Chain A
Amino acid sequence: GATGLIPEVGRRKYSESGKQTPEQSESFLNEFELRLLNMFGLRRRPTPSKQAVVPQYMVDLYRMHSANGDHSTKRPKSMGKHADRAASKANTIRSFHHEESMEALASLKGKTTQQFYFNLTSIPDEELITSAELRIYRDQVMGAAAPNNSSRNSSTAGGFHRINIYEIFGVPATHSGEPLARLLDTRLVQDSLSRWESFDVSPAVSQWTSGKGHNHGFMVEVLHPEEGEMDGEHAQRRSRHVRVSRSLHQDQDSWPQARPLLVTYGHDGRGDSVLHTREKRQ
């Protein structure tokens, strides 16, 4: 069973039954194997390595959607509303980590930008992507108190920073130039909270997977408005708390579960959505 989905015992028993010639047996077994693979939407048997990481968010989604799971499981708090709606129409939810070898990190005074590339070629052509979210983890900035009313009223500085998500749709003419990009989503976030942020990147991913646009990746921009006024150590600490790159992440053990995650919601035209199943059963 190491190479295919049919266990070796089953293969041997069928071949030894003597109903067909060995060639016929092999041919029937291979045909059945193909049907099994097709049923799961696989090209070959998966053989994941020990380093394979299952994001906690996907486990949470499974628990939320599983018909056999705990029905009291609610949607993950950090799940965006657009994603919640999308999940109700999707029957396939996929997660992707970015290609770290292709990341480009730049940190200027008061601004950190990171370019990500997610390889989406494993999404089959027949799967229609209805929504996609880019999830970024950010740690609480130690020493950043929750804003009081006065700081809330005072522009963006003092306990807040802004995260902008862009779709890169062109490369610059010169190496020094910035990539051509369009804004997909933006959010003003509070420094004093540790949580995942979900950004709607559906327009870009839908275009890429439908073949209407070329996947050049995303650019994440983190603006720290007040960084220029800080001492060096504090400024460095603030720029590291949005987990967009391994090099900005001090705890290597937790990086696999804290790194950015792209989640796509799609439907391959076969049957109900995951959420409808749960509602139907309930």
Chain B
Amino acid sequence: AALRKQRRKQQHKASCKRHALYVDFSDVGWNEWIVAPPGYHAFYCHGECPFPLADHLNSTNHAIVQTLVNSVNSNIPRACCVPTDLSPISLLYLDEYEKVILKNYQDMVVEGCGCR
């Protein structure tokens, strides 16, 4: 039972899900012109999309069928673990003319991941 539990845990760990990723603008040298924020939680999606796809993996009909085909023909790849819901963030920055701009940028933060 313990072995089954551990295996299940490992399998769950490896399946597609959202992971923490903090983007620090100073790491890419953008802190010189981005005034605020200094960085943000962007997150990323990673993990397997195993057969059979579980409900919580937000899959599409196509992904379910692709996974089914993969189970009988490994030449066809599994569905991919990708962002399914993204949200914007506001950035306060100086442009190339030193004008100060507050702008809303779409699709900057991963809110949910799924197999697609």
Contact = CB atoms under 8 A, between A and B. Distances in A.
Contacts of B33: 45-48
Contacts of A98: none
Nearest to A94: B101
Interface residues of B, number: 31
A19 interface: no
B90 to A, nearest CB: 5
A13 to B, nearest CB: 13
A62 B90 contact: yes
A49 B41 CA distance: 28
Contacts of B98: 46, 48-49, 52
Contact of B90 (A10, A54, A274): A274
A108 interface: no
Interface in B72-115: 87-90, 92-107
A80 interface: no
Contacts of B102: 58, 61-62, 65, 92-94, 274
A41 interface: yes
A62 B104 CA distance: 10
B35 interface: yes
B95 A42 contact: yes
Interface in A22-55: 39-49, 52-55
A39 B102 CA distance: 14
Given A59-B36, A92-B103, A281 B87 contact: yes
Given A66-B37, A271-B104, A274-B102, A44 B96 contact: yes
Nearest to B111: A281
Contact of B101 (A1, A47, A93): A93
B97 A1 contact: no
A55 B107 CA distance: 27
Nearest to A61: B102
A271 B109 CA distance: 14
A1 B36 contact: no
A24 B93 CA distance: 32
A61 B92 CA distance: 9
A122 B89 contact: no
Contact of A66 (B36, B41, B87): B36
Given A1-B28, A1-B29, A54-B94, A93 B103 contact: yes
Contacts of A58: 92, 100, 102
A159 to B, nearest CB: 35
Given A42-B95, A66-B90, A68-B89, A55 B28 contact: no
Contacts of A48: 32-33, 94, 98
A59 B92 CA distance: 8
17 contacts: A40-B93, A41-B95, A42-B96, A52-B94, A54-B92, A61-B102, A62-B35, A65-B104, A66-B89, A66-B90, A68-B41, A93-B101, A93-B102, A93-B103, A95-B101, A271-B106, A281-B87
